[in-house]
Homo-oligomer: A and B are copies of this chain.
């Protein structure tokens, strides 16, 4: 998860290939783990991958229902939870939403950078922040186990066009 990867998430790129690669990698990882990438699960991942945005569970559900899958909340929540559990997607607390993981494979718990203009989400390395956080907490006698770090701001692409229409 390099700095380039952050920029790449917001910049225009060969998205077909980006999606394809992610799906392939997902299939491989799941096979290794003995987990099944069923049609609903696969389609859910595809839907998340289509944009680099975070999507609410009900937004995903509408898409699934329109394509002939079940139309009740558990359908979406189960698929999303499965993806999160297997490191293929993340949950964004701040938005009550989910986003496909852009770096499955890296065993990670990232920091999220959310652009308030284009709504896209990037993942940044957690380590430097965790170090700062742990240090501050430890001095107060607190032991950090898990942390949520979600930043709202402006991506490079949107900063350039600020004032104009969103990218």
A to B CB contacts below 8 Å, 9 in the list: A3-B140, A10-B142, A113-B137, A116-B145, A122-B140, A142-B154, A142-B156, A143-B154, A148-B149
Interface size for A (C-beta < 8 A) is: 42
| B141 with A135: CB separation less than 8 A | no
Whether a CB of chain B sits under 8 angstroms from the CB of A153 is: yes
Whether a CB of chain B sits under 8 angstroms from the CB of A115 is: yes
| B143 with A159: CB separation less than 8 A | yes
A156, B159: Cα distance in complex, Å: 43
A139, B159: Cα distance in complex, Å: 14
| B93 with A140: CB separation less than 8 A | no
Copies of this chain, whole number:
2
Against B, the Cβ 8 Å flags (1 = close, 0 = not) of A126-167 are: 001101110111011111111111111111100100000000
A148, B5: Cα distance in complex, Å: 22
Whether a CB of chain B sits under 8 angstroms from the CB of A124 is: yes
Q: Do most interface residues of chain A lie in helix, strand or loop, or is the interface mixed?
A: mixed
Whether a CB of chain B sits under 8 angstroms from the CB of A125 is: yes
Choose from B4, B142, B148, B152 the contact partner of A6 (Cβ within 8 Å): B142
| B135 with A151: CB separation less than 8 A | no
Residues 70-116 of A at the B interface (beta carbon under 8 Å): 93-94, 111, 113, 115-116
A161, B28: Cα distance in complex, Å: 44
A147-B140 in contact given A128-B132, A129-B133, A133-B129 (Cβ < 8 Å)? no
